[in-house]
Amino acid sequence: MPQLDTSTWFITILSMLLTLYIIMQLKISKHTYYQNPEPTITKSVEHTTPWSIKWTKIYSPLSLPQR
């Protein structure tokens, strides 16, 4: 049974890590950042619904009169 040749593993892993590092650096350098981000003011819109005008009472089954 032949033995596994591991003599090239070190250079392969090292070159892979170097390549990944360079790719990540290129991706980060192409990213544009905002110079001075400012928060935007959002206005809440009031929705009128028919049930918000009327007063309704919900009866629980225990509070109904017994027959």
Residue 47 sits in which domain range?
6-59
Determine, yes or no, domain membership for 65. no
Count how many domains the chain has: 1
pTM of the predicted model as reported, rounded to 2 decimal places:
0.44
CA-based end-to-end distance of the chain: 91
Q: Tens digit of pLDDT per residue, the chain (67 long)?
A: 678 888 899 999 999 999 999 999 999 998 887 778 788 888 877 767 666 566 666 666 666 666 6
Tokens 């392969």 belong to which residue?
A: 12
Determine, yes or no, domain membership for 52. yes
13 sits in which H/E element: helix 9-30
Determine, yes or no, domain membership for 66. no
Determine, yes or no, domain membership for 1. no
Beta strands in 2-51 (DSSP E): none
